[in-house]
Amino acid sequence: MDEGFREAVLRVVRAVPAGRVTTYGEVALLAGRPNHARQVGAILYGLRGGEVDDVPWQRVINASGGISTYKVGSGELQVALLRSEGVEVSDDRVDLRRYRWLGDVE
């Protein structure tokens, strides 16, 4: 995987504020690679060690507002983390009209 794209993805995800969410596709767009949503998912899936601590991966959801992690137990963890930030999750879905972040990335 292109290391520059990986770093851009991590920079975008780190910019998502607590209490807000964005989608894999929006992260890809902001990272400069439209149509690379699956690669964003792969990058977030592959986070290990201390990287996870400063990358709020839980704030990235699918385009329909759903929790779509394939890590065993991570779906429940993602829901719990989002709820702890004040995001309402109902039936493993987030209201994107209310919580979507499309903001700026430095």
Whether residue 106 is contained in a domain is answered as no
The reported pTM is 0.89
What does the pLDDT profile of the chain (106 residues) look like in tens digits?
A: 688 999 999 999 999 999 999 999 999 999 999 999 999 999 998 887 666 778 999 999 999 999 976 665 678 889 999 999 999 999 999 999 999 998 776 5
Residue 70: predicted pLDDT: 61
User: How many domains would you assign to the chain?
Assistant: 1
HSE-CB at 43 with a 13 A cutoff on CA atoms is 28
Whether residue 67 is contained in a domain is answered as yes
Tell me the one-letter amino acid at 14.
Answer: R
Whether residue 22 is contained in a domain is answered as yes
Whether residue 104 is contained in a domain is answered as no
The CATH number assigned to the domain holding 82 equals: 1.10.10.10
3-state secondary structure 5-55: HHHHHHHHHHHCCCCCEEEHHHHHHHCCCCCCHHHHHHHHHCCCHHHHHHC
Note down the domain range covering 23.
3-99
Report CA torsion sign: 74, 80, 84, 90. Answer: positive
Residue 46: predicted pLDDT: 86
